[in-house]
Structure 1
């Protein structure tokens, strides 16, 4: 997974659409058709994967990981992480560390 974080750029979809000479809605539709997810879903999934990597491999605080991965709120990060991973970020970190000790 690595340490590279996708920078937060709220105009990215518009920039892509403009460079392809298509509208934002058309860009959104094409993205979803090709990738199978909306741009927001794709970016959220990527950010969660990065967060999981950092939880597993660094001593950074959960708050630091949250913001460095592009989330704007620790409560939202915790909610989305739990919805997608089945446990809170701190539970995830403990379970990974416990498994690594075995």
Structure 2
């Protein structure tokens, strides 16, 4: 696939066709998955997890996490503790 001569909108369209999401959505999903792994496997606070997973603001992290995971950070953390 040759992309050097494609317009920005063409690249975005190609990315979305291949990944079923926009580039920014893809990055957010990767950040959330990374955050979930940190919360599951490491001894970090939610604040630490926010910054380690690439988010700049804790409030934004909480809103995005709930949107993509379907539960708050506190709910997720509690559920993970119960599973241990």
Q: 2:60 aligns with which of 52, 60, 76?
A: 76
Structure 2 gaps, min length 5: none
Q: Which has the higher contact order (CA 8 A, sep 6+)?
A: 1
Structure 1 gaps, min length 5: 1-18
Q: Number of paired residues?
A: 82
Q: What CA distance in whole angstroms lies between the structure 2 residues aligned with 1:92 and 1:35?
A: 26
TM-score normalised by length of structure 2: 0.88
Q: 1:64 aligns with which of 32, 43, 48?
A: 48
Q: What CA distance in whole angstroms lies between the structure 1 residues aligned with 2:18 and 2:71?
A: 30
Runs of 4+ with deviation above 4 angstroms? none
Aligned to 1:9: none
Q: What CA distance in whole angstroms lies between the structure 2 residues aligned with 1:72 and 1:45?
A: 15
TM-score normalised by length of structure 1: 0.74
RMSD: 1.3
